[in-house]
């Protein structure tokens, strides 16, 4: 991959599937077990906060027992070796990129590591079951919610993401169905900016036709192969 200096990588639930974390829209995925509008929207939280807090306590506990897989490890190797710009934009709330050693990671949908106080708007480490209504470390109010972006809410750091895409020579999408915006639109933004685009996904996604190249297979194989290519290994 000659002439590549600045890379943006977008990851979705599929990169963590082989670590044992459920995806959302694959068979048996999270959205078959729970109604999105009940557990991943502000309206659902207002309607039944206990249901939402139990859902995210369950997801947090499930994530904590999982380990990075070869796809996360390959991206961490790229991050350590890459002399140009690299930004790993993840839609995932797990911290497997960081636990594999990646540093240049941006969680556009937040993470399961932090709680967000709806009374004083500060973030703090999520240290225990939120269903127990722990007090906010800053203001003491029992008003914490997961620091996760829900449907209808704005993702984090969109300006930084679009800025990185504008400077990119290569945009790589890994393990995402291309079902949710604005992440699903990044490939179109990249194409309009004449950025080279590559998709690595288990099967063709809703956005596959937008990519210059789309490779199908498990991330644990495709991502190490691609990192070897781009590092010239």
Task: Extract the annotated binding site for NAD(+).
Answer: 12-31, 91-94, 175-177, 201-203, 219
209-212, Cβ contacts within 8 angstroms, sequence gap of 24 or more: 211/173, 211/187
201 binds ligand APR (CB under 6 A): yes
Nearer CB in complex with ligand APR: 77/218: 218
Tokens for 195, please give them: 């950025």
Backbone φ and ψ for 231, nearest 5 degrees, come out as -90, -5
**Binding of ligand NAD by 148 (CB under 6 A):** yes
- Dihedral of alpha carbons 131, 134, 138, 141, sign: positive
**Which lies closer to ligand NAD via its Cβ, residue 107 or residue 196?**
107
Strands (E) located in the chain: 7-11, 86-90, 105-107, 110-117, 123-125, 144-148, 170-174, 196-201, 213-216
Minimum CB–partner distance for residue 182 and ligand APR (Å) = 11
Cβ of residue 212: shortest distance to ligand NAD, in angstroms?
A: 20
Please give the residue ranges that form the binding site for ligand APR (CB under 6 A): 12-14, 17-18, 23-26, 29, 91, 109, 175-177, 179-180, 201-203, 205, 218-219
Please give the residue ranges that form the binding site for ligand NAD (CB under 6 A): 40, 109, 148-155, 180-182, 185
């Amino acid at each position: 991959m000659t002439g590549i200096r600045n890379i943006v990588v977008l990851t979705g639930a599929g990169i963590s599937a082989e670590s044992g974390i459920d995806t959302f829209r694959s068979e048996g995925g999270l959205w078959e077990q729970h109604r999105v509008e009940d557990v991943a929207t502000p309206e659902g939280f207002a309607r039944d906060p206990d249901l939402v807090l139990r859902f995210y306590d369950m997801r947090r506990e499930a994530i904590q027992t999982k380990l990075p897989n070869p796809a996360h490890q390959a991206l961490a190797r790229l991050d350590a070796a890459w002399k140009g710009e690299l930004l790993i934009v993840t839609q995932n709330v797990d911290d497997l990129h960081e636990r594999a050693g990646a540093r240049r990671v941006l969680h556009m949908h937040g993470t399961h590591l932090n709680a967000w106080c709806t009374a004083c708007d500060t973030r703090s480490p999520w240290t225990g079951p939120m269903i127990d209504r722990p007090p906010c470390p800053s203001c003491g109010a029992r008003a914490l919610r997961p620091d996760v972006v829900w449907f209808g809410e704005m993702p984090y750091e969109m300006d930084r993401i679009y800025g990185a895409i504008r400077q990119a020579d290569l945009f790589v999408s890994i393990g995402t169905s291309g079902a949710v915006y604005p992440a699903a639109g990044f490939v179109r933004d990249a194409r309009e900016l004449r950025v080279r685009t590559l998709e690595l996904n288990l099967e063709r996604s809703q956005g596959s036709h937008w990519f210059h190249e789309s490779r199908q297979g498990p991330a644990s194989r495709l991502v190490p192969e691609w990192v070897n290519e781009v590092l010239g290994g």
